[in-house]
Chains A and B, each alone.
Chain A
């Protein structure tokens, strides 16, 4: 059910990127250790050249100069290791302080689509509606549909996804948000607007329950906990596709 469909999306977002630029750079080095940031420094070097007056045309002209390859430019030559961002001998700089587990825990608030990071707790739709009226109604309306700020509730007939074709259709949690975990994450980190980050975990669960109820994704007598947040299948889950723009002559 829900986790399987979500897993497909995460699979392409994760796995396809694993052979990233770093690997490509290391491979290109062919035995020579190439620090991946050297390319950026090469570009920065071009900037320095251009700024020295009279040399601007060196950085211009050639298609493919700059970010793509920096051909024949200052590829970390002449300026020593300072230019490459690496310490002589390849040692670490040793700047910074080890972060303790408790320091990390104090800031590590993100919630992943698989539920990683969700705290213990629970909240009912009824509790959420009471909180909603007190904390949320003024900005989002009595049922999440009325505004004046972001519209939270509303489905499209047949759970269609007509946003590109019909500018009048408003996006909502129910018709656009792919993961309910995001709803928990965002509500906890940023809401309510006049007191961000002030809600208890149980209150967040209750408000998530209320918003899912507004969108006909939970019944009115429901209780939300971590399993609910992970398992709720959001109607727009499978609507998102990778960016296929790569430059070149075609408009995408």
Chain B
């Protein structure tokens, strides 16, 4: 049951989180590790082996371990670009069964997640789907049951939006009275990513097939080995649901649902069924395994919320954060993400004294509904211990709760939607540890 990454939890029945193969993936640990050999090899491949390294000495302009780039011909462009060899952001790969990867939030700038760093949560791996053979079947309570090819989908008017996508199990490691301080943003909340998603509005498709007025739910089913299925209220289709085939300007990556997926803005990631092949309109929910036994929220009164789709407001400081250290007192720009499934982030407040006082952070444009928003707060660190917190408020007036407020509302054993206030303790030596409140 803890497959949504509650690794600190006592529940290990799923076992899928125990083998963490990406342990070295924390960007701060790895990105500095470019070796001299790698640089020289890279330069030689471009400019030939006759070059000798001309190391600038005593100029105060930095130490070069590669040839002076102003004295050799630059590399020629290629048909596909690549990341600088000096930059090695890495997902964490966790889980032994379905598959989980977590985005390196602390290494990212702006709001977009590069597609190859987008988080993953699969329920039975990544299918290989030939787009030529792809079909989307829409049937059930409709006038015209229809099969759409990928080309058919692309002929409809297109919609395109920047949206966050977050697993509702994200942040489970923060949901404990005694969290492990040695946790990075990626460890805790790496099941969050933001992309520009392009596709066709579900409303367009539902009009096209003649959806019956009495249809209240629809099934979305993937063509992965889990034949992943969820029941979705039809009103979400008329509101803003889409079938997406584009991600950040290119075709959706296989890990994100190639060639087409359901995309439900602001809702828990599991409901945005990847590799979608079938949509069936109905007048009732289907009660699939993942929407009954898994993605539900137990409550202290011995009930459980079912179909709790919307992701409540949340924020997270990604700098400064473990495992980085602050080198010296002085100016530090505290920065992070805020997002809400209910629309727009209204404000983000930052505390540097563990919640004793709060100041409003600046929000970076663009401010978009159901999308991550960057916040930043200029802080003069005087070298004394500090406790950094962030707290988001959305346009409905919802305020990101503390852990104890969440426990009061949902109990210590609830299983999803962990959006409590996150924070970092800064020691006088500049060390940083995860410390939510």
Chain A interface (Cβ < 8 Å from any Cβ of B): 10, 13-14, 17-18, 20-22, 25, 35-37, 39-41, 43-44, 46-47, 50-51, 56-57, 59-61, 63-68, 82-86, 92-93, 95-99, 103-104, 107-113, 147-151, 160-171, 173, 176-179, 181-182, 185-186, 189-190, 193, 196-197, 239-249, 251-252
Contacts and interface: CB of A to CB of B under 8 A. Distances in A.
B218 to A, nearest CB: 11
B220 to A, nearest CB: 11
Q: Which of A22, A46, A96, A148 gathers the greatest number of chain B CB atoms within 10 Å? A: A96
Contact of B229 (A20, A66, A110): A110
A35 B155 contact: no
Contacts of B312: 245, 247
Contacts of B266: 67
A198 to B, nearest CB: 11
A149 B207 contact: no
A37 B293 contact: no
A163 B305 contact: no
B217 interface: yes
A245 B226 CA distance: 30
A98 B152 CA distance: 12
B interface majority secondary structure: loop
Given A40-B203, A164-B302, A182-B287, A96 B148 contact: yes
Nearest to B307: A243
Nearest to B97: A149
Interface in B187-220: 201, 203-204, 207-209, 213-214, 216-217, 219
B307 A13 contact: yes
Interface in B380-425: 394-399, 401, 405-406, 408-415
Contacts of A96: 146-149, 152, 208-209
Contact of A39 (B208, B233, B239): B239
Contacts of B308: 243, 245
Contact of B396 (A51, A164, A248): A248
B296 interface: yes
A97 B233 contact: no
Interface stretch (B54-62, B82-90, B362-370): B362-370
B346 interface: yes
Nearest 5 CB-CB pairs, A to B?
A: A247-B396, A164-B411, A37-B203, A66-B369, A56-B365
B162 interface: yes
